[in-house]
Structure 1
Amino acid sequence: MPKLEVFDPALCCATGVCGVDVDPALAQFAADLKWLEAHGVTVERHNLGQDPAAFATNPRVLALLQQGNDRLPAVFLDGELLASGAYPDRHALAAKLGLTDVSATDAPASGTCCAAQPAAVQGKSCC
């Protein structure tokens, strides 16, 4: 099973999909990660503001951070750098993973900040 690891810059919550002014790119990326999980991909997401130890213990992420904070987000597929400095879109993720069903029918939820977050944090304040 492929493993995708995302190292986000410091965000207000686990996904950055919170508050009243949600970045559409973050909302779309959250939906894309959910889509990948539905296709059997293991996804781990680390937020610099909430999980700094994940950054400090990963030599590849540390090397990127030494080049500048603009290298985040960093996305790794099975330990290899897939993207840095921007979130890859669903088509790029699917191509790298060999997935062909790239339908966008599961658009990101809107309305509440926790709508696109894992069930473990739903119902808690995001920001």
Structure 2
Amino acid sequence: MKTMQIFEPAMCCPTGLCGVGVDPELLRISTVLDTLKKHGITVDRFNLNSAPDEFVDNKVVNDFLNDKGADCLPVILLDGEIILTGKYPTNAEFTEWMGVPAELLEKPAEKAQQSDSCCCQEGCC
């Protein structure tokens, strides 16, 4: 099984889903990672504020930060190699890189619209 690690910039909490203004991208990433975890796929996620030792101990990430700086976070590693920097993977990239079916990470609204048993009022989500 492939190993993915996400090294994120410093945030107030491990997921960044705290405070009044929640970043929709961080919400998407948390949802994707939760869905993957429910299907037996773990992606390690490290926040510079709450897990600084992970950044120091990982030579690839440490070298990257020394060269590019923390402004280039997040850094995504797949099997120990950098595959993406400066942004989070799309759902399509997650499915491709982790070898899971695309349907697994479809948006809930898309799933509801494709289903005959849509739970939305008037069939519109």
Normalising by structure 2, we get a TM-score of 0.77
CA contact (8 A) 1:4 1:41 kept: no
What's the counterpart of residue 120 of structure 1? none
1:28 counterpart SS class:
helix
- Which of 104, 107, 110 lines up with 2:107 in the alignment? 104
Structure holding more helix per residue: 2
Q: Which runs of 5+ in 2 are unaligned?
A: 110-125
Deviation, structure 1 residue 105: 2.1
Partners of 2:99 and 2:45 in 1: how far apart? 21
What's the counterpart of residue 11 of structure 1? 11
2:82 counterpart SS class:
strand
Greater Cα radius of gyration, structure 1 or 2: 2
What is the letter of the counterpart of residue 84 of structure 1? Answer: T
Partners of 1:105 and 1:80 in 2: how far apart? 31
Deviation, structure 1 residue 30: 0.7
**1:27 corresponds to 2:48:** no
What's the counterpart of residue 70 of structure 1? 71
User: Which consecutive aligned stretches of 4+ in structure 1 deviate over 4 angstroms post-superposition?
Assistant: none
What's the counterpart of residue 113 of structure 1? none
What's the counterpart of residue 38 of structure 2? 38
CA contact (8 A) 1:8 1:72 kept: yes
Deviation, structure 1 residue 35: 1.7
Aligned length: 106
Q: Which runs of 5+ in 1 are unaligned?
A: 107-127
**1:92 corresponds to 2:93:** yes
Partners of 1:55 and 1:69 in 2: how far apart? 11
Deviation, structure 1 residue 61: 0.5
